[in-house]
Amino acid sequence: MIRNLVMNKLENRTARLTLLIDPDTKMAFERLCSEEDLTPSQMVRKLIRDYIEQRLGPNWRDEVLTERKAS
């Protein structure tokens, strides 16, 4: 019961994204991330945020939160 409550709380905070890339690309990406003292997950999150901001503008979070509250 407690485990389910913890998992539900975590699921509301984060979502998992799985992607497949070839091993050479993964290795190069990990090396480059390491050079910037970032984990691959941190870099992917940054790339996603940058892409969203490029497409929706700097106030994209307000738009997303408004849509979320409306549903």
60 burial class (0-12, 13-18, 19+ CB within 10 angstroms)? middle
Distance in angstroms (rounded) separating the CA atoms of residues 18 and 22: 13
Asked whether residue 48 is domain-assigned, the answer is yes
Cβ within 8 Å of residue 52, ≥6 positions away = 60
Compare 12 and 35 and report the one with higher pLDDT: 35
Residue 52, domain extent: 21-70
Average pLDDT along the chain: 85
- Give the containing element (helix H, strand E) for 55: helix 40-56
Number of domains, the chain: 1
pTM more than 0.85: no
38 is a domain residue: yes
Instruction: For residues 69 and 65, give the distance between their C-alpha atoms in angstroms, rounded to a whole number.
Output: 6
pLDDT digits (tens, 9 = 90+) for 11-20: 567 889 999 9
Q: Is residue 25 part of a domain?
A: yes
Tell me which of 5 and 62 has the higher pLDDT.
62
In a domain, 46, yes or no: yes
pLDDT value at 25 more than 90 = yes
Is residue 12 domain-resident?
no
pLDDT digits (tens, 9 = 90+) for 56-65: 998 888 877 7
